[in-house]
């Protein structure tokens, strides 16, 4: 029998998870709208459908734990605590953006919330996560590093090098693979000899498990348990969260490589209404309360868009800022 929600988390916390999933969805759908209006440009990879992974996983971590992710990372930053207005402003390329308009959608970074970056080279963040975990051990800190990546990353050299290294040096890294079954248009079984990704870690003696990435509570419980193990044992752990993106790889992708039947099966498993249903069934919330959360999140995204729209563009004088640290022991540079 399924454990009751309130035996796992207090009602207030459960409502918080619901709110974060709704905010993530509303934010992404708001981004899509702004993209079609031409206000967000460049690449735009949306997270709709995968919310249970970011929300459940982040709830299972401590705030001082480092998080790194790939380029589909708006929700991970917002769920971690980044201001949605500043994330939207970054997507608009405005100076009030999280990275002052220098990074855009794929390169959010918010050290205040220990969100150590979105990286747009597939698998590029894995070695960096290992290095951050090493810095924590070296400095005697209690924190762990959670590294998100997609199913496409598992065939990169950095995946294998990083898993080997993390186990060899006994570093507190929690690897979280968000398996949404497609690396752009290539399905996992067409790119991986062993499509069951979590089984690949046996080559590196790293324990792993597969979790339903459409169930926020399942993800939360798995990550909380794994994070405790990683923190206590100072060793890596690996979670494969099976999920699905409701949109194409990016806004430029109509996702014609996926059948309508497949998409409709996954949409029927949408993590947000599924969790709402449980909250109602178990009387954690009323429909009025959930509706209130939805309205509030819609409003927050409107505010974010308004903030981004009215924010100033970066000045041309900011162009050269941030390449090098200017007050450097190396003296004057003609680049600074």
Partner 1 sequence: MSDMTYRDAINLALREELRRDPTVFILGEDVALYEGSFKVTRGLLAEFGAERVRDTPISENTIIGVAIGAAMGGLRPVAELMTVNFALLAMDQLINHMAKIRYMFGGQTMLPMVVRAPGGGGSQLAAQHSQSLESYFMHCPGIHLAMPATPADAKGLLKTAIRSKNPVMFLEHELLYNSTGSVPDDPEFLVPFGKARVMREGSDVTIVAYSRMAVLALEAAHALEQEGVSCEVIDLRTLAPLDVATIVASSLKTGRAVVVEECCGAAGLGGDIAWRIHAACFESLLAPVKRVSGLDLPMPYSSALEKLCIPQADTIIMAVRDVVNGRT
User: Which range of residues in 34-42, 127-135, 179-187, 289-297 is near partner 1 by CB under 8 A?
Assistant: 127-135
Minimal distance in Å, beta carbon 269 to partner 1? 35
CA atoms within 13 A on the CB side of 157: 0
What's the CA gap between 249 and 196, in Å, rounded? 21
Q: Which is nearer to partner 1, 37 or 335 (CB)?
A: 335
Encoding tokens for residue 258? Answer: 């996926």
Furthest-apart CA atoms within the chain: distance in Å: 68
Residue 213 exposed, middle or buried by CB count within 10 Å (0-12, 13-18, 19+): buried
Mutual angle of helices 271-281 and 216-233, in 10-degree steps: 100
* Cα–Cα–Cα angle for 324, 68, 21, rounded to 5 degrees: 130
Find the binding residues for partner 1 in span 182-211 (CB under 8 A): none
Mutual angle of helices 287-310 and 84-92, in 10-degree steps: 40
Question: Residues 145-174: x/- map of binding to partner 1 (CB under 8 A)?
Answer: ------------xx--xx-xx--xx-----
Minimal distance in Å, beta carbon 267 to partner 1? 34
User: Which range of residues in 17-25, 92-100, 268-276, 290-298 is near partner 1 by CB under 8 A?
Assistant: 92-100
Binds partner 1 by CB under 8 A, chosen from 23, 79, 128, 197? 128
User: Which range of residues in 128-136, 193-201, 202-210, 296-304 is near partner 1 by CB under 8 A?
Assistant: 128-136
Q: Which is nearer to partner 1, 4 or 63 (CB)?
A: 63
Residues of the chain by 3-state class (helix, strand, coil), percent to 5: 50, 10, 40
User: Is 234 one of the binding residues for partner 1 (CB under 8 A)?
Assistant: no
Instruction: Give the torsion through C-alpha atoms of 97, 179, 231, 224, to 10 deg.
Output: 90
> What is the dihedral sign for C-alpha 184, 263, 40, 102?
negative
The CA-atom distances, in angstroms, between 136 and each of 1, 10, 109, 195, 272 are 40, 31, 19, 33, 35
User: Is 334 one of the binding residues for partner 1 (CB under 8 A)?
Assistant: yes
Question: Residues 286-325: x/- map of binding to partner 1 (CB under 8 A)?
Answer: -----------------------------------xxxxx
User: Is 134 one of the binding residues for partner 1 (CB under 8 A)?
Assistant: yes
Best CA proximity match to 17, nearest among 217, 262, 254? 217
Minimal distance in Å, beta carbon 296 to partner 1? 29
Binds partner 1 by CB under 8 A, chosen from 41, 124, 218, 224? 124
User: Which range of residues in 26-34, 71-79, 111-119, 287-295 is near partner 1 by CB under 8 A?
Assistant: 111-119
User: Which range of residues in 211-219, 226-234, 292-300, 326-334 is near partner 1 by CB under 8 A?
Assistant: 326-334
Q: Hey, how many other C-beta atoms are within 10 angstroms of the C-beta on 6?
A: 13
Residues near partner 1 (CB under 8 A): 66, 97-103, 107, 109-111, 116-117, 119, 121, 124, 126-136, 138-139, 157-158, 161-162, 164-165, 168-169, 321-325, 327-335
């Amino acid at each position: 029998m399924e454990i009751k929600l309130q035996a796992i988390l207090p009602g207030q916390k459960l409502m918080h998870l619901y709110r974060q999933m709704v905010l993530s969805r509303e934010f992404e759908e708001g981004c899509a709208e702004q993209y079609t209006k031409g206000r967000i440009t460049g690449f735009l990879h949306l997270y709709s459908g995968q919310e249970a992974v970011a929300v459940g996983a982040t709830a299972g971590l401590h705030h001082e734990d480092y998080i790194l992710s790939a380029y589909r990372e708006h929700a991970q930053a917002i769920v971690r605590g980044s201001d949605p207005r500043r994330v939207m402003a970054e997507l608009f390329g405005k100076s009030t953006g999280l990275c002052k308009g220098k990074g855009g959608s794929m390169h959010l970074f918010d050290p205040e919330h220990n969100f150590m970056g979105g990286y747009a080279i597939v698998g590029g963040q894995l070695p960096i996560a290992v290095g951050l975990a090493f810095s924590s051990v070296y400095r005697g800190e209690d924190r762990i590093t959670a590294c998100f990546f997609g199913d496409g990353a598992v065939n990169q050299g950095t995946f294998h090098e990083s898993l080997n290294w993390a186990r060899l040096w006994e570093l507190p890294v929690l690897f979280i693979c968000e398996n949404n079954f497609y690396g752009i248009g290539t399905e996992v079984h067409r790119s991986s000899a062993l499509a069951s990704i979590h089984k690949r870690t046996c080559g590196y003696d790293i324990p792993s498990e597969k979790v339903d990435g459409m169930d926020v509570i399942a993800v939360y419980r798995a990550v909380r348990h794994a994070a405790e193990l990683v923190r206590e044992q100072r060793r890596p752990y690996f979670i494969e969260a099976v999920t699905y993106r409701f949109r194409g790889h990016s806004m430029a992708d109509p996702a014609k490589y996926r059948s309508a039947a497949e998409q409709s099966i996954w949409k029927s498993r949408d993590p947000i209404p599924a969790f709402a249903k449980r909250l109602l069934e178990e009387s954690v919330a009323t429909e009025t309360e959930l509706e209130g959360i939805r309205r509030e999140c819609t409003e927050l995204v409107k505010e974010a868009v308004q903030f981004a729209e009215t924010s100033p563009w970066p000045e041309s004088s900011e162009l050269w800022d941030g390449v090098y640290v200017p007050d450097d022991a190396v003296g004057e540079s003609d680049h600074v």
